[in-house]
Amino acid sequence: MISTASKQFFFRILARLFKKINKKSVMKNVIFSALIIASAILTGCNKGGGSFTDARVKKVSSQRGFTEYTYTPENKIKSVKSSDGSTTTYTYKDKTISQLRADSVHGLFITSSIFLNAAGLADSSVASDPSGTYVELYAHDANCNITQTKDVISGHLYNASNSVFKDGNEVSRIITDSTSKPRVSLFFDYYADKVNSAGYQNMGMQFLGNDSKNLMKKFVQVLPSGDTIRVMSFNYHYDEKGRVSQKAVYDNHGMLADSTSYSYY
């Protein structure tokens, strides 16, 4: 897999690489963080899969803090509370999911909407603030895997992401700018015998479709010049049910870079 938590970790890496996206606006950073939490979304396809589709993640903790998840009786995500002082709540009506992010640190209250298609899967998300409107657009394959995303700010394309999947896992992703010029390429390797227990479905985000089905083994970040700027590898520990209980991240020197623990309902 590349778990939801792992993707948030990689987005933080990319955020540092693309710092120039939001030089002036804290609001933009907060909005994009909210959209990332609930952003990867789709068309008619085969939802589900994996050995842990009934598992629900309760808490994800690391040296940076924690995130807690609650769910509706239908096992849909209800709220996401983080140690950074933010809480995001979800409400469901027809083909729209509304998110309210309350950020006590920046004193912000941000409402965004996720719009679902006929299959009950999201294909866009929208948020606005005085500085502009932020839209995420998505395209997906027949297996509900996200193959393309586009970030649009006030009607203008900022960047796009195109992914390739093999055997149920995302194996590569190319991120391009508004002119389709590559910014960075990401490559992923997986443990073929280890099943994802912290994917979208395990966090009540079935509307996002299918996450990578296996646990990530390695992540490589490459610039358009061909220079490798980051390599990370992953090891895992498991609970009595075989679910991931801890993930250790190592840099290209084999030094521990991050450690994340998971608990379940």
Q: Is pLDDT of 153 > 50? A: yes
What is the distance between the alpha carbons of residues 206 and 199, in angstroms, rounded to a whole number?
9
* DSSP-derived secondary structure letter, 211: P
CB 180 within 8 A of CB 43: no
- Give me the pLDDT at residue 36, please: 43
Residues 47-62 have a mean pLDDT of: 80
- Counted residue by residue, the chain has a size of 265
What residues form DSSP beta bridges with 189?
A: 218
The pLDDT of residue 83 is above 50: yes
Calculate the dihedral angle through the C-alpha atoms of 247, 162, 77, 93, rounding to the nearest 10 degrees: 180
- Residue 145 or 126, more confident: 126
Distance CA 23, CA 215 (A): 35
183 vs 160: CA distance, rounded Å:
10
Q: What is the CA radius of gyration of the chain?
A: 17
pLDDT surpassing 50 at residue 3:
no
Residue 48: pLDDT band by 50, 70, 90 thresholds? Answer: low
- If you classify domain 4-264 with CATH, what class do you get? mainly beta
pLDDT (mean) for 12-28 = 41
Distances (CA, A) of 99 to 35, 78, 88, 220: 9, 10, 6, 32
Pick 67 or 117 by higher pLDDT.
67
Share of the chain above pLDDT 90, in %: 64
Average pLDDT over residues 148-175: 96
pLDDT value of position 51: 56
- Strand-pair partners of 136: 125, 151
Q: What is the mean pLDDT of the chain?
A: 84
**HSE on the CB side for 79, CA within 13 Å?**
8
Question: Cα(3)–Cα(15) distance, rounded to whole angstroms?
Answer: 18
* Residue written as token pair 């979800």: 90
How far apart (Å, rounded) are the C-alpha atoms in residues 167 and 210?
A: 12
pLDDT band, residue 26 (cuts 50/70/90): very low
For the cut 60, the answer to whether the pLDDT of residue 55 exceeds it is yes
Coil, strand or helix: which one is 11?
Answer: helix
More confident residue, 118 or 203: 203
Place of tokens 């149920």: 168
Provide the pLDDT confidence category of residue 47 given band limits of 50, 70 and 90. low
Q: Do residues 81 and 209 touch, judged by C-beta distance below 8 A?
A: no
Higher pLDDT, 29 or 252: 252
- Considering only 21-30, 55-64, 142-151, 185-194, which range has the smallest mean pLDDT? 21-30
What is the spatial distance between Cα 173 and Cα 243, in angstroms, rounded to a whole number?
A: 26
